[in-house]
Amino acid sequence: MASALKNLSSHRALTLNGASNVRVCVVVSEWNHKITGALSRGAVSTLLDHGIKEKNILVHTVPGSFELTLGASLVNQKYKPDAVICLGCVITGETRHAEYICNAVAQGLTILSLQHQIPFIFGVLTPDTQKQAEERSGGKHGNKGIEAAMTALELIKLKKSL
Res 2: pLDDT: 46
Q: Residue type at 27?
A: V
Res 9: pLDDT: 54
User: Residues 91, 95, 98, 100: what is their CA dihedral angle, to the nearest 10 degrees?
Assistant: 180
Of residues 77, 58, 57, 75, the one with CA closest to residue 67 = 75
User: Active site residue: 33, 50, 60, 97, which one?
Assistant: 97
Res 6: pLDDT: 55
Residue 106 is assigned to a structural domain of this protein: yes
Res 1: pLDDT: 44
Instruction: Give the C-alpha separation, 29 to 89, whole Å.
Output: 8
Residue 54 is assigned to a structural domain of this protein: yes
Res 98: pLDDT: 82
pTM of the full structure: 0.91
Per-residue tens of pLDDT for the chain, all 162 residues: 444 555 555 556 667 677 789 999 999 999 999 999 999 999 999 999 999 999 999 999 999 999 999 999 999 999 999 999 999 999 987 677 888 999 999 999 999 999 999 999 999 999 999 999 999 999 999 999 999 999 999 999 999 999
Q: Which domain holds residue 107?
A: 22-161
What is the DSSP track for 29-80? Answer: ESTTHHHHHHHHHHHHHHHHHTT--GGGEEEEEESSGGGHHHHHHHHHHHH-
Q: What is the CATH number of the domain that holds 41?
A: 3.40.50.960
CA dist list (Å): 45 to 16, 94, 149:
16, 34, 9
Residue 68 is assigned to a structural domain of this protein: yes
Residue 58 is assigned to a structural domain of this protein: yes
Catalytic residue check, 33: no
The total number of structural domains in the chain stands at: 1
Residue 3 is assigned to a structural domain of this protein: no
Beta carbons within 8 Å of 2's beta carbon, 6+ residues apart: none
Residue 17 is assigned to a structural domain of this protein: no
